[in-house]
Chain A
Amino acid sequence: MKATAWMGTDSVKVIDVPDPKIMNARDAIVRISTTAICGSDLHLYHGYIPAMRKGDILGHEFMGEVVEVGPEVRNLKLGDRVVVPFPIACGHCSSCQRGLYSVCENSNPNAGIAEKIMGHSPAGIFGYSHLLGGYAGGQAEYARVPFADIGPVKVPDEVTDDQAVMLADVFPTGYMGAEMCDIKPGQVIAVWGAGPVGLFAAASARLLGAERVIVIDRFGYRLRLVEEHVGAETINYEEADVLDTLNEMTAGRGPDACIDAVGLESHHGNPAMYAYDRAKQATRIETERPFALRQAILACRSGGVVSVVGAYGGFIDKFPMGAFMNRSLIMRTGQCHVQRYTRPLLERIQRGEIDPSFIVSHRMPLRDAPKGYKIFQKKQDDCTKVLLKV
């Protein structure tokens, strides 16, 4: 089959690999119809996630048709159209049973390495480094889906591929970012980043009853999406001072909750500040550039929530612990527990409360995946979300 493989920093190729086969009794094989490039795939592309190997198949957002099931998979049958959550979760460990699917205790066969870096191992993730399991990803013609009796969700005919594939990661991730804010009536929510996750975090904050939602980014075309499709306010951080503007908008209180939907490769309006962390990251003195997170902490009202759904992989410097501690802030975070959200969010799509395909800017065939990575990386052609059609 054809598959998108990581070949080194800033290099992906569509290569020929063997077709996947059932390896565990609870596996299914899915023939992929639509798969997406995620912002976190760019972290892999840029070489910021450790333990990648040349030839690793990328992709953790995908959907398609079930073409083979293992003997223990009884909930799916051949021909079912399913969307697959990005975290691989067994459903039976105590983390899964508490709904914490992205920290499944059984799905990372390389838990030993993950423990050395993170203390304990999170779940395995499709196509997301050997640290997180060494699973082949879904930017391919077929994928093996472990624990297919737990993760995949059948998609009704009236829901399109472009809508359903958002349930694999970005919509639930944005939604969880908003849910962790514990939004109460009258509250103001600020979101750093108007990429797919930030857009869904803002849209979800509205769905969950926020009074005002403010999104911070520097790309005009993305901020226009926020205004047109989410009904939120915007701040372009290259044109305005973010902290001043947020204080002014909230009469000095600060947002009740701040969502970091940026993660480890954030950008800073001040070239000197950007250069400082960029240089440390390049020399591996720190692994992340946490501008958005630092700013979210400083902006948040005292006693408020900082909700982190942007991806981090290692260590950050200059964490404003003084502000965080002295102002009674709460941080909530996690890779999304997608399995918890797929069905309720699918129902919201079916009820017409949201059409998540509004974020899609590009659709192209799988063979053009390298081009898709390039334009997404360079934010060319007003790129927000690239779907690959198989």
Chain B
Amino acid sequence: MSRVETVLLPELDGPVPATLPSALGLLSLALGVGALVAPGPVARMTGVDDSPAARAVLPAVGARELANAAGLLSGRRPAGWAWARVAGDAADLTLLGRALADRHGARRRRVALTTLAIAGINAVVVLAAVRIGRARRARARVIRMEIAVTVNRSPAEAYRFWRDVENLPRFMAHLESVRADDLRRSHWIARGPAGHRVEWDAEIIDDQPNKSITWRSLPGTRVPNAGRVRFAPAPGDRGTEVRVELRYAPPAGALGRAVAKLFGEEPEQQVRDDLRRFKQVLETGEVVRSEGSPSGISVRQQAMQRPAQPLPASRR
């Protein structure tokens, strides 16, 4: 696992999605073992000890709970197992509903209490399944990339330019500005379509002079992101290999769509273009412009070239 993977994005790696399936799994395990090992006491407790069918059904219910427990505790497809558990509980509630109709007195009260308990548990499981699913989808949305470029400058020069985070908008096209608050913290503003702006605070969490810089957004941002750039001498005295790893999690909904537009349909291509501009700025002093691409390298501009003739005065 690369280092950036271990850089925490609290919104994605928080304890909730990791522990919730296990808690549900343990509950299933307890219920399953009880129903299998002691069907008699369980039948009495739930008020269905008068039915011969119940004695046959209870071990089956226990076996189902055990299978569910195994699935939930395995950690794979937790949302699927949670929903399977919801389905199992729904079947139990159906059986209990029929049992309730047939019984009177103390038995009826016990069946009613059991029904209430199962319904309560089921409500918790439904909520948990929804949360697990949401976390899984958020994780699926996380975009990870690793892109490299060779720059004909020393690692120290490349590092120095990047370390001054206020330089970043000079080559990262989607950024409007980055303000360094102190040596570690900075405030980033990205430009989106239709005036959408996305802002966040970031901090440098690891800084190896002339070698690497690792940063991440601070907790609470709407677009959690983290990155690392490494600078290594290119073999054969050809400058520096600059390798960037990025990870960001666009939110769902309108903001997510805005962020997706920000990065376009080819986020990797955009970062590649950023690195090309980084190379241009370091090697030639600025972003190179042509009449067809007057704002320099950009995927969008490549697709929608203006004719290669000087710009009218209004566009300068």
Q: Which residues of A contact B (CB under 8 A)?
A: 3, 5, 17-21, 23-26, 51, 53-57, 72, 90, 92-94, 97, 105-107, 109-113, 124, 127, 130, 133-137, 144, 146-147
B97 proximal to A (CB < 8 A): no
Known: A90-B283, A111-B297. A53 touches B289 (CB 8 A): no
Tell me, rounded to whole Å, the shortest Cβ–Cβ distance linking B194 to chain A. 25
Judging by beta carbons under 8 Å apart, are A105 and B302 in contact? no
Judging by beta carbons under 8 Å apart, are A92 and B308 in contact? no
B3 proximal to A (CB < 8 A): no
Q: How many residues of chain B get a CB closer than 8 Å to chain A's CBs?
A: 36
- Could you write out 9 A-B pairs with CB less than 8 Å apart? A21-B316, A53-B292, A53-B305, A53-B306, A57-B307, A109-B292, A109-B296, A112-B299, A144-B291
Tell me, rounded to whole Å, the shortest Cβ–Cβ distance linking B291 to chain A. 4
Complex interface: chain B residues within 8 A of A134 (CB):
290-293, 305-306, 308
A20 to B269, CA, bound (A): 30
Known: A93-B283, A111-B297, A112-B272. A57 touches B309 (CB 8 A): yes
Tell me, rounded to whole Å, the shortest Cβ–Cβ distance linking A16 to chain B. 10
In the complex, which of the residues B276, B285, B293 contacts A26, with contact meaning CB atoms closer than 8 Å?
B285
Tell me, rounded to whole Å, the shortest Cβ–Cβ distance linking B222 to chain A. 29
Known: A18-B312, A111-B297, A113-B302. A92 touches B290 (CB 8 A): no
Complex interface: chain B residues within 8 A of A93 (CB):
152, 279, 283-284
Judging by beta carbons under 8 Å apart, are B308 and A130 in contact? yes
Tell me, rounded to whole Å, the shortest Cβ–Cβ distance linking B314 to chain A. 10
Complex interface: chain A residues within 8 A of B297 (CB):
109-112
B203 proximal to A (CB < 8 A): no
Complex interface: chain A residues within 8 A of B307 (CB):
5, 53-57
Complex interface: chain A residues within 8 A of B177 (CB):
none
B18 proximal to A (CB < 8 A): no
Judging by beta carbons under 8 Å apart, are A110 and B305 in contact? yes
Identity of the chain A residue whose Cβ is nearest the Cβ of B296 in the assembled complex? A109
Known: A94-B239, A127-B308. A109 touches B289 (CB 8 A): yes
Known: A53-B305, A94-B239, A113-B302. A18 touches B293 (CB 8 A): no
Judging by beta carbons under 8 Å apart, are A25 and B285 in contact? yes
Tell me, rounded to whole Å, the shortest Cβ–Cβ distance linking A18 to chain B. 4
Complex interface: chain B residues within 8 A of A57 (CB):
291, 307-309
Complex interface: chain A residues within 8 A of B16 (CB):
none
B313 proximal to A (CB < 8 A): yes
Judging by beta carbons under 8 Å apart, are B313 and A112 in contact? no
B311 proximal to A (CB < 8 A): yes
B238 proximal to A (CB < 8 A): yes
B130 proximal to A (CB < 8 A): no
Judging by beta carbons under 8 Å apart, are A92 and B313 in contact? no
Judging by beta carbons under 8 Å apart, are A109 and B293 in contact? yes
Judging by beta carbons under 8 Å apart, are A56 and B288 in contact? no
Known: A19-B310, A94-B152, A137-B308. A106 touches B283 (CB 8 A): yes
Judging by beta carbons under 8 Å apart, are B309 and A109 in contact? no
In the complex, which of the residues A21, A90, A130 contacts B305, with contact meaning CB atoms closer than 8 Å?
A130
B273 proximal to A (CB < 8 A): yes
Complex interface: chain A residues within 8 A of B272 (CB):
112
A13 to B20, CA, bound (A): 71
Judging by beta carbons under 8 Å apart, are B310 and A110 in contact? no
B294 proximal to A (CB < 8 A): yes
A133 to B310, CA, bound (A): 14
Lowest 8 A-B CB distances belong to which pairs?
A134-B292, A55-B307, A109-B293, A20-B310, A56-B308, A136-B291, A90-B284, A17-B309
Judging by beta carbons under 8 Å apart, are A109 and B288 in contact? yes
Known: A25-B285, A53-B307. A97 touches B292 (CB 8 A): no
Judging by beta carbons under 8 Å apart, are B310 and A136 in contact? yes
Tell me, rounded to whole Å, the shortest Cβ–Cβ distance linking A147 to chain B. 7
Tell me, rounded to whole Å, the shortest Cβ–Cβ distance linking A187 to chain B. 33
In the complex, which of the residues A18, A23, A55, A106 contacts B313, with contact meaning CB atoms closer than 8 Å?
A18
Judging by beta carbons under 8 Å apart, are B286 and A25 in contact? yes
A124 to B280, CA, bound (A): 14
Judging by beta carbons under 8 Å apart, are B310 and A92 in contact? no
